[in-house]
Amino acid sequence: MKDVSKFLSRRSFLTHTSCFGAYYALAQMIPLPALAETLGPQSNAASRVSQTPIVDKGFAVVRKIGNGLYATISDPSKGPTTLCNGGFLVGKDAAMLIEGFTTAGGAAFQMDALRMVSQVPVKGALDTHYHFDHSMGNAYYGANGVPLWAHANAAKRIVDSYSPLQGADKAAVLAPFEKLVKDAKNETEKAHAQSDLNAITTVYTIANGSVLGLPNRPIDPSKPTPVDLGGVTAVIESMPGHSGTDMIIRVPDQNVVYTGDLLFNGWYPVCFDEKATISGWRATLAKFAAMDKETVFVPGHGQICGQEGVATLREVFDDIAGQAEKMFKAGVPVAEAQQRYAVPDKFKNFPVFAWGFTIAPAIGKLYGEWQSK
């Protein structure tokens, strides 16, 4: 098949370029596991995470995970209001929100949750990266005078990626993906192509339902940015891997890390971005693994986890790379290798957001790294 990931580049959107039916087809496959399944009761990390949420709307819950630290955890199977995870940090003097989410309603939901626990001024809201599910609700912050922080390249990437979709002819945007479904050589390829069509339809629908809100507080990725909220001190750091604009926010004295999409807990990682780097991402995960063993991680997607969530994503990358390397060495062409990857039993319940957003581009990028050696 054709490399679907290349359709996702900006140029392709411009040149090739509803309803939520496709979203729900996608999201049914993304249930959220219970907290107890991902934070073993034996770990000290588990004891720091409140079992009772401060608010539960179905599509997301907010729970306390430390002193002044809260996590917003989405359940995509209950609707696209938030879709990704986020959270907020609350000190004596100020608060910091994390993520713009998929909709302005998602950002408003999180602001309301913050106001249930504190009335301090909001210093800013951080998009951990530019992707639609983390940024399409940004306009809420703009309308409420909340400074919007993000990697210095994030604003441009939002404009380049999503403004071409706004007002674009839906049939023209979807046609190449519909063709791939129609031309699929077998049931496996058809299922892969259908998952891509569902994902593209979702992105198109959400982009067209949104007022784009752009970050106005660019963060220099070359050095850590300290954030002092009064008694709660965090640091924002740039790390490579998922999107070329990835920022984590870390609270060192409480061993809590909000990873954005550099950590998918119990999911296949989304690797389609033209700036995603598999070797860079694996190096970032090695850094997470070297952090304190009691670290609590708030991943970009999936349940709150400890180090076991990091270890599992590293195993997923090892498995993709292992299968791909065998095929590479056997001379299997990349397009065929991208279709032939088999999800092993131990990961069979892991959501695959769409084949052409996850496994196919991971294999394509790995082939690229090996070919350039």
- DSSP run (H or E) holding 257: strand 256-264
| Residue 261 binds Zn ion (CB under 5 A) | yes
The site for Zn ion, by CB under 5 A, has a size of 2
Q: How far is the CB of 245 from Zn ion (least distance, A)?
A: 9
| Residue 157 binds Zn ion (CB under 5 A) | no
Residue with tokens 């790995």: 366
Of 305, 312, 313, nearest to 39 by C-alpha is: 305
Locate 348 and state its tokens. Answer: 């069979």
Beta strands in 6-82 (DSSP E): 55-56, 60-66, 69-74
Site string for Zn ion, 192-231 (x = CB under 5 A): ----------------------------------------
Strands 256-264 and 296-301 turn out to be parallel
Candidate ranges 123-131, 171-179, 214-222, 354-362; the one touching Zn ion (CB under 5 A): 123-131
Q: How far is the CB of 270 from Zn ion (least distance, A)?
A: 6
Q: Which is nearer to Zn ion, 99 or 261 (CB)?
A: 261
Q: Which of 57, 131, 157, 250 binds Zn ion (CB under 5 A)?
A: 131
How many CB atoms are closer than 10 A to CB 331?
A: 6
| Residue 127 binds Zn ion (CB under 5 A) | no
Candidate ranges 48-56, 128-136, 137-145, 356-364; the one touching Zn ion (CB under 5 A): 128-136
Looking at the DSSP bridge assignments, the partners of residue 170 are: none
| Residue 99 binds Zn ion (CB under 5 A) | no
For residue 125, how many C-alpha atoms fall within 13 Å in the half-sphere facing its CB? 31
Candidate ranges 126-134, 138-146, 276-284, 314-322; the one touching Zn ion (CB under 5 A): 126-134
- DSSP run (H or E) holding 244: none
Candidate ranges 29-37, 195-203, 204-212, 256-264; the one touching Zn ion (CB under 5 A): 256-264
Say how far apart CA 27 and CA 241 lie, in whole Å: 24
Q: Which is nearer to Zn ion, 131 or 151 (CB)?
A: 131
Q: Which is nearer to Zn ion, 131 or 365 (CB)?
A: 131
Burial of 105 (0-12, 13-18, 19+ CB in 10 A): middle
Of 83, 5, 69, 71, nearest to 38 by C-alpha is: 71
Q: How far is the CB of 94 from Zn ion (least distance, A)?
A: 27
| Residue 301 binds Zn ion (CB under 5 A) | no
Q: How far is the CB of 246 from Zn ion (least distance, A)?
A: 8
Q: Which is nearer to Zn ion, 205 or 358 (CB)?
A: 358
Quote the crossing angle between the two packed helices 278-289 and 307-329, to the nearest 10°.
Answer: 150
Q: How far is the CB of 220 from Zn ion (least distance, A)?
A: 21
Residue 28 near residue 213 (C-beta atoms within 8 A): no
Contact residues: Zn ion, CB under 5 A:
131, 261
